[in-house]
Structure 1
């Protein structure tokens, strides 16, 4: 199992300098991947139902800095050498796909073979309204977004005439990532799980340490692999990533949970940022030993 962590690019102390230093420290401490999340325009008060809590309540404050995801990855790519870099999750429907493809390809040119992009359809209706993008049919929009982005990553895109996006003629779309950047999808709904198996290179799920349910996770992974098989794709090639929320300051419980997650089919775990990145080597070594 690959051990990664979410970068501290949101929160009261978030800054470009702080996140760059954290990336340097976490790579030196032995982490194998670093991830960013994505919100562009959060409301002062969230009224949409949060899908990762049983009661639907989002409990974080939106009154703090939230560094943009792709700019953050670009900064981190320039100061790291080997660690993998990813998004968990980039809100695809909120980003024009030709521009997003160019931005991601540029990051990948600074970190070839190290970038993976996890995308999702989103859940925060207020954010869609703020950006003037319809909330309805966002799942179908996400799939079409993937098609356009992958076409751009070949170096040339279009013509394309879809339901949501149109390219009237062929365009040059360089640089073309080499190797190709994998696209993972997120979400736990049946439609999202089937989408991951049908057209993604991997899946990014999320559970909290307090409500960890490896058996439910194994069932979701089975749905994904079944959808891959039905689409004549290799089910074993789907890379499964889990963001484990609530792991900061809970090293013993996290270490104890990792073997069950590996048994459920998780290939990579995204932990919370260690509280002291510069001195987290022993903590990270314990995580890696638990799944060795």
Structure 2
């Protein structure tokens, strides 16, 4: 099981984000990214919301850094760690927009992009952006097929139910022959979508026992990634046994990749926690 980092600062969820993140910026985020890269962590993440209604922000948070700008900045500060959108909302973008923007990032980063993608659930945001909310699942499936056809091709061609294109040059395009697509969701349908159209599944809000049962009931192919996250930030320095238990529980539930966060008092302390997490994980 490889361990990546749910990046601090870029998304601040109520009850999860640490107080220091409210005033942090590019310097603090860069310090964390360089430390995670040096230690060999698998990935950094950045999620997507364009605009969150005030009432919804009280529960989901209102601070969401733009993933393309953020991951582009972090790519210049790092050399090994993967850059993960966790997640982009498919319905907000034409597939060729994603292919061009993140294909460029893949070129700039030396082939380190993983696209975490989701169907989306915030109806008010869909309406604000002029995106179709009804039927978004079928549209997302078509978008995933179009993305697979386009991401690593200079002159992609695709003809689907919602998207169709040919005889257009998309340059730069991704340098990876197959950009990993991780699909978000928490339902059996989302798992089927991920197995059929993606390379990994990023579930949320499910108990490990429920996850294990869903995976046992599915025909999961070899090499397919199961990306899980602890329910709360880990404290590997002060509570190493609890952190180890959380990691082991997720591994036993089927995780091949973990997206972890750590509790911290500052960016410097966050980096110290990453050191402790790296040491702890190496002993599991």
Does the TM-score normalized on the shorter chain lie above 0.5? Answer: yes
Aligned to 2:255: 266
Aligned to 1:238: 224
Does 2:68 correspond to 1:27?
A: no
More off after superposition, 125-134 vs 274-283: 274-283
Aligned to 1:103: 101
Name the TM-score, length of structure 2 as normaliser: 0.84
Distance 2:223 2:41 in 1: 23
Structure 1 residue ranges (4+ consecutive) displaced by more than 6 angstroms after TM superposition: none
Aligned to 2:170: 173
Aligned to 2:23: 13
Aligned to 1:255: 244
Q: 1:123 to 1:81 in 2, by over 3 A?
A: same
CA displacement, residues 226-278 of structure 1 (integer Å, 9 cap, x when unaligned)? 2x5xxxxxx12211111323124465423212122212221011012552233
Q: 1:252 to 1:206 in 2, by over 3 A?
A: farther
Q: Structure 1 residue aligned with 2:184, among 176, 183, 186?
A: 186
User: How far did residue 222 of structure 1 move?
Assistant: 2.8
Note the residue ranges of structure 2 that are not aligned, 5 or more in a row: 13-21
Q: Secondary structure at the match of 1:41?
A: coil
Does 2:276 correspond to 1:283?
A: yes
Distance 1:94 1:148 in 2: 15
Counting matched residue pairs gives 265
TM alignment of 1:61-210, pairs within 5 A: 61-62=61-62, 65-153=63-151, 154-158=153-157, 160-167=158-165, 169-179=166-176, 180-207=178-205
